[in-house]
Amino acid sequence: MTNKTKIFSDLSKIAAEAMNTFSSFKKEIETIVRLKVEKMINKMNLVRRDEFETLKNIVQKLASDKKGSKKRRKKAAAVLRKKKKKKNSKK
């Protein structure tokens, strides 16, 4: 009987060690895959999401400012034309 329990005890130790080994193996594979993916992303010169969002906001603000300045220039040009017409009509 003790011989059977020793065999079962040894088998359970072997199984536990195998599970531990497979767990370590899984972690190692995950690390390798993560490093490969990061390497590919770095080669592609991709940007992080937060950097993209920041630049997108800046571009939108600049575009909005550009539209606003165009409108202001058009208004100023219209005012100048009106003044010239009034000045020319007085002469």
**58-71: per-residue pLDDT in tens?**
999 999 888 878 77
Q: What is the number of structural domains in the chain?
A: 1
Residue numbers of the domain that contains 25:
2-90
Mean pLDDT, range 75-87, rounded to an integer: 73
Chain segment 35-62, per-residue pLDDT in tens: 999 899 889 988 889 999 999 999 999 9
Q: What is the DSSP string of 9-64?
A: HHHHHHHHHHHHHHHHHHHHHHHHHHHHHHHHHHHTT---HHHHHHHHHHHHHHHH
* pLDDT of the residue at 88: 67
- Taking the model in full, what pTM does it have? 0.41
Between CA 50 and CA 37 the distance in angstroms is: 19
Between CA 4 and CA 79 the distance in angstroms is: 105
